[in-house]
Structure 1
């Protein structure tokens, strides 16, 4: 490898904030057992927050954002990984407290790393990324809590986003009836192609009036939205139903009551993809290559970007204009 390489660097010094592609040296990378030549990364909501001055996710500057990366091991001090291995690293402190995936090279602790499953490429791994992994983890938790195809439809909120899109496709692959909620009329055909049985509006999930308990409607829900819409979903879950919650785009406060929990025995399942234990992480990535494999992954790609194109694309997630996934091509 050359002495220097390209990376997208966000820096904040006083009132000055910048996001630029710059040259870096290997000795500027953080500590870690495994040096990776990055092939691909992706764009997540947290990545967009890391590239604005008041995003409040970056621990210290300068930082190379990119909470996801997949590529080839260059060198390793850990016997679990050898040069030439194709690997995935997502979340933990990557891209917020240590340099991340928007770089031609990354150095990562071995415990953060998952082998790319057999039959999957590094490109496919990053089309999936944290968003697809979070969706798969949500579905896995619902299945572990008794979800069955005979229970009735499963609701997916925020269905055109990264987590929502993958949740729709995975549930369809597993044979579930899927109701997808979105406020984007123009994306109905996209959701049907992913496998949604029915498309419903945001107002049909939450019309602005909260009830402590309402008619039983859904066997389960995958919810990356949170806030008052989640409270409305909880009030409409069927007996013993579960909601897998991974986001808060509608807010962090959920004004619910105990009634759905004590009268219907429902479950509120918190989904954390950041510090998910490695055994679970390995298992879910294997599921994504096999039983949860949603088929044609290119359907999820909005656009493939280079490092130089990232500064223009990153704000779109904060504006709610994106659907599916932006893929970032870093190297060969």
Structure 2
């Protein structure tokens, strides 16, 4: 038997409980992992609170990422004792996830834990940090170098935003943080932001084009915010879009793209190819200051996840929540 958070469908909605499961209840896949740490992401919060249809089959174990040790494997690429990370592939959405002391998954979904990272550090990074690294890699691939100008990061106090700031700052970029909690400006500057702006400057309906300012951007918000970012990019600037905290809509015009040559680059963390995943985790092990990572992280027990899920939906969580599972 092992502990897990189980979501069950009821007449009144979805019930989330910390319970015990038998290993025979795990899904049928070829690698069993003893989960040590997971994280609490916004998507996990939506799943547990049932604020959005993240989970469509019940009963279900949520948790979109985890780090741990292989316990048993029928995949030739993995053996008992291997340290692994999992992000994406529908885990925590359509396949049982990381909020359990054991998980059974496809071997092809796993990535080796870099030797310089512990399981806890990997989940301090988690899907949020991995997504942030994918955004940085996309900016680099599209020619956005530190000498090009300011980089805007929205949702700066969230998991993706805070780690994106830390990575970009270490790489020498001039980072401007956008947040609804400007009272936490000093915290964002400690991560590496050179200045902080109120998200209200970007969140309302704007004009098709405004004065150009940004060489690049990491946007976790979407909706009017993303449209206003595109409208204020420098000529040839690049916007990486990876979130929809404000909304899924994109009320923009083609003006920034045909008049300023702006690139809007979508970043997906769920189905990124294995080569990209391995490269991102290698980069995270070297391009992210461990001290700054600890500064944006706090740890909760598996028993505290359900309560914390409500807090993350209410916008009360700053930075990263690490879940100690084992």
TM-score normalized by structure 1? 0.95
| 1:255 Cα deviation after fit | 1.2
Instruction: Classify 1:62/1:173 alpha carbon distance in 2 versus 1 (closer, same or farther; 3 Å).
Output: same
CA distance in 2, matches of 1:15, 1:321: 26
| 1:14 Cα deviation after fit | 3.1
The answer to whether the aligner puts 1:260 opposite 2:279 as a matched pair is: no
| 1:294 Cα deviation after fit | 2.9
The count of corresponding residues between Structure 1 and Structure 2 is 325
- Structure 2 counterpart SS, 1:61: coil
Contact in 1 for aligned 2:87/2:127 (Cα 8 Å): yes
The answer to whether the aligner puts 1:75 opposite 2:72 as a matched pair is: yes
Equivalences for 1:155-170 in 2 at 5 Å? 155-170=152-167
Instruction: Classify 1:228/1:209 alpha carbon distance in 2 versus 1 (closer, same or farther; 3 Å).
Output: closer
The answer to whether the aligner puts 1:214 opposite 2:210 as a matched pair is: yes
- Structure 1 counterpart SS, 2:49: coil
Contact in 1 for aligned 2:182/2:196 (Cα 8 Å): no
CA distance in 1, matches of 2:205, 2:100: 47
CA distance in 2, matches of 1:68, 1:181: 26
CA RMSD of aligned residues (A): 1.1
The answer to whether the aligner puts 1:140 opposite 2:137 as a matched pair is: yes
Q: Aligned to 1:43, which of 40, 44, 48?
A: 40
Q: State the partner residue of 1:195.
A: 192
Equivalences for 1:1-332 in 2 at 5 Å? 4-206=1-203, 208-290=204-286, 292-296=287-291, 297-301=293-297, 303-331=298-326
Contact in 2 for aligned 1:224/1:247 (Cα 8 Å): yes
Contact in 1 for aligned 2:209/2:232 (Cα 8 Å): yes
Aligned structure 1 segments of 4 or more residues deviating by more than 4 angstroms: none
CA distance in 2, matches of 1:257, 1:312: 41
Contact in 2 for aligned 1:12/1:53 (Cα 8 Å): no
CA distance in 2, matches of 1:282, 1:184: 34
Task: Please list the CA deviations of residues 26-80 of structure 1 after superposition, one character each: whole Å capped at 9, or x if unmatched.
Answer: 1111121111000000001111111123420102011111001000010111121
| 1:177 Cα deviation after fit | 0.3
- Structure 2 counterpart SS, 1:314: helix
| 1:87 Cα deviation after fit | 0.3
- Structure 2 counterpart SS, 1:171: helix
Instruction: Classify 1:12/1:154 alpha carbon distance in 2 versus 1 (closer, same or farther; 3 Å).
Output: same
| 1:194 Cα deviation after fit | 0.2
Q: Which structure 2 residue ranges, 5 or more long, are not aligned?
A: none
Contact in 1 for aligned 2:205/2:224 (Cα 8 Å): no
| 1:16 Cα deviation after fit | 4.9
Q: Which structure 1 residue ranges, 5 or more long, are not aligned?
A: none
CA distance in 1, matches of 2:324, 2:316: 21
Task: Please list the CA deviations of residues 269-299 of structure 1 after superposition, one character each: whole Å capped at 9, or x if unmatched.
Answer: 0010011111111111111112x22331211
